[in-house]
Amino acid sequence: MLNTDNINQCEEQLKYASILNKLAILSFILLGIGFFLYVFNIIPSQITPSDIQYFWSKGRDDFITKTGLESGWSWILKLNQGDAIVFLGPYFLAMATLISYLFSLVPAFICKKDIPYLLITILQIVVLIFAMTGFFSINN
């Protein structure tokens, strides 16, 4: 077993971990609520839970054509539908690192005037934003 008595964690690490933990818990709660709302058809869906099995074997293009759904971030405009609200949990889980950086590391490095770590953190945030938006994606 790892002895953690002599490990000193800096304040930034503890704040980052605390924010990340809270966001992970929120993500799983949202995932559970979204799943519940979708499966029990409490909120109307474009694809009902009983119909989803017919689309499992379809390719992306065939799926989009037959369901009328759009790809990418279009789901965010349809949060009034049960099949879109399911995406909130994974969305917050994916955003957890970015939010934790913005609310723990960036302010801490600014206060400490730790410019190298601040620049590295900002660069990581920029890379995460580009990755999330699909800015450099190649469509076939």
Confidence of residue 110 (pLDDT cuts 50, 70, 90): very high
The pLDDT value recorded for residue 2 is 53
pLDDT-wise least confident of 1-10, 53-62, 108-117: 1-10
Chain mean pLDDT for the chain: 86
How many angstroms separate the CA atoms of 37 and 33, rounded?
A: 6
Instruction: Kindly list the domain boundaries of the chain, sorted by start residue.
Output: 11-133
Which of these, 95, 71, 93, 97, lies nearest to 84 by C-alpha position?
71
